[in-house]
Structure 1
């Protein structure tokens, strides 16, 4: 699965994901020169590069995602991870999704975590 974490995504979660799955295909916006870029531009980059966006931003990012879908624009998917989840739970749930689903299953979808 190809992932992109947004600017404010918890770095401890990212590090934990890599510790548990070193071959994970995850980029941070900082890695691709998208630091301090507006949300719609991040979503555009993620769509163009077929990457599912990881975010904690429940306030604006999903609205921009739904706006893209309303305009029939591509979106590889978005996982909105509650910042109230423990780091361990966030890592466990993300790895479960990565292990049991395919990238294409998340096209045009916004998933809110925790799963329960």
Structure 2
């Protein structure tokens, strides 16, 4: 299985550019892209979009995202997962981590979870 990622609009766009340059066969969108939620979309709505379109949210939102995820699950809903970026990793290290995760993951491996990068 290969995962699809969507970047929160507050994540530096350098992640997107470098990810696409290194891995043109993997999917990474950003909030505001055509087909993605528009910029300014509230976090609960982004989680609903992720559920509907099967994308993992990549964000640096450590504060409110756990609350939003808990509310989403309490409504009987599911999402593929949320990955929280680490400021201890370089952009290149983060991209390498996301590529390995995308290519080596099982179906629903991160469902309804918040995962802090790096995994190891």
Q: What is the TM-score of this pair, normalised by structure 2?
A: 0.86
Question: Are 2:17 and 1:15 equivalent residues in the alignment?
Answer: yes
- Give the whole-Å Cα distance in 2 for the aligned partners of 1:14 and 1:103: 24
> Which ranges of structure 1 fall in alignment gaps of 5 or more residues?
none
Moved over 4 A (4+): none
Is 1:4–1:51's contact at 8 Å kept on the other side of the alignment? yes
Match of 1:102 among 77, 101, 106: 106
Is 1:34–1:42's contact at 8 Å kept on the other side of the alignment? no
Cα 1:25–1:103 change in 2 (3 A) is farther
- Give the whole-Å Cα distance in 2 for the aligned partners of 1:21 and 1:52: 17
- Give the whole-Å Cα distance in 1 for the aligned partners of 2:28 and 2:107: 13
Q: Secondary structure at the match of 2:109?
A: helix
Aligned length: 116
Match of 2:70 among 61, 66, 69: 66
Is 2:19–2:28's contact at 8 Å kept on the other side of the alignment? no
- Give the whole-Å Cα distance in 2 for the aligned partners of 1:89 and 1:58: 19
Matches within 5 A, 1:1-116: 1-31=3-33, 32-116=36-120
Q: Cα RMSD over matched residues?
A: 1.5
Q: What is the TM-score of this pair, normalised by structure 1?
A: 0.89
Q: Secondary structure at the match of 1:4?
A: strand
